[in-house]
């Protein structure tokens, strides 16, 4: 009989452990890292992204569409919601971000894209732009991107869920992965 190999004893962190160990989130918006689903279709994806923003210390930029506030309220399971920026015109907003020195990074499957594994932690203010759930990033916004990152895929699906894609990229930009 082969001996039973045991790994290190695993103890799952309690809520109390997490409360004491975690770095405190800044009280105000530092505007360092932002994920921007600027052409959203499904409210559930916004709720998921809001939670990732909280975890990664990032902001969420969303368009001022009538259904978006309610979608965020419904998706918000946090005691304190992450920082939300309301965007009137996505193209103008992206232009303004670049003019202010923020790097505008598209998250899309594209030629000449950087692969996620090669994406360094964000060392300057960065906005990660996500596309529409069906149509992706609109062509007129592509000229406003400084660079594009793609998450390599195998399998039969054409793309990942937008909130999954945004969360993976945020974790890399935040230096957590
Ligand atoms: C469901 S996809 C959009 C559909 C896709 N562009 C198409 O035309 O088939 C929604 C968004 O998720 C992000 N996304 C999904 N999979 C991705 C991947 N593998 N790499 C980078 N971004 C991805 C992009 O922002 C994309 O615009």
Q: Over the stretch 92-106, which tens digit does the pLDDT of each residue have?
A: 999 999 999 999 999
Return the number of other C-beta atoms located less than 10 Å from residue 109's C-beta.
17
Q: Identify the H or E element spanning 86.
A: strand 84-87
Residues within a 6 A CB radius of ligand 1 = 107-109, 130-131, 133, 136-137, 150-151, 153, 158-160, 162, 165
Instruction: Please report the atom of ligand 1 found closest to the CA of residue 135.
Output: 8
What backbone phi and psi angles, to 5 degrees, belong to 48? -65, -45
Sheet containing 126-130: give its strands across. 84-87, 59-63, 33-37, 126-130, 103-107, 147-150, 114-115
Q: pTM score, two decimals?
A: 0.90
Closest CA to ligand 1's atom 5: 136
Closest CA to ligand 1's atom 1: 133
Q: How far apart are CA 156 and CA 36, in angstroms?
A: 27
CA-closest candidate to residue 130, choices 62, 56, 43: 62
List domains and CATH numbers for the chain. Answer: 27-173 (3.40.1280.10)
Q: Over the stretch 65-89, which tens digit does the pLDDT of each residue have?
A: 999 999 998 887 877 778 999 999 9
């Amino acid at each position: 009989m082969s001996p039973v190999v045991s790994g290190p004893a695993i103890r799952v962190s309690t809520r109390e452990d997490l409360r004491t160990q975690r770095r405190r989130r800044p009280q105000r918006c530092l505007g360092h890292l932002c994920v921007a689903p600027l052409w959203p279709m499904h409210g559930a994806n916004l709720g998921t992204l809001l939670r990732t923003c909280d975890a990664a210390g990032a902001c969420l930029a969303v368009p001022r569409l009538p259904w978006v506030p309610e979608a965020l309220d419904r998706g918000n399971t946090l005691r304190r919601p992450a920082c939300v920026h309301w965007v009137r015109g996505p193209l103008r907003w992206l232009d303004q971000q670049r003019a202010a020195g923020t790097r505008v990074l598209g998250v899309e499957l594209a030629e000449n894209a950087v692969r996620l594994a090669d994406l360094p932690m964000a060392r300057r203010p960065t906005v990660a732009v996500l596309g529409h759930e069906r149509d992706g990033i609109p062509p007129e916004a592509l000229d406003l991107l400084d660079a594009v990152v793609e998450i390599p895929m195998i399998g039969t699906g054409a793309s990942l869920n937008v909130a999954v894609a945004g969360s993976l990229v945020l974790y890399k930009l935040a230096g957590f992965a």
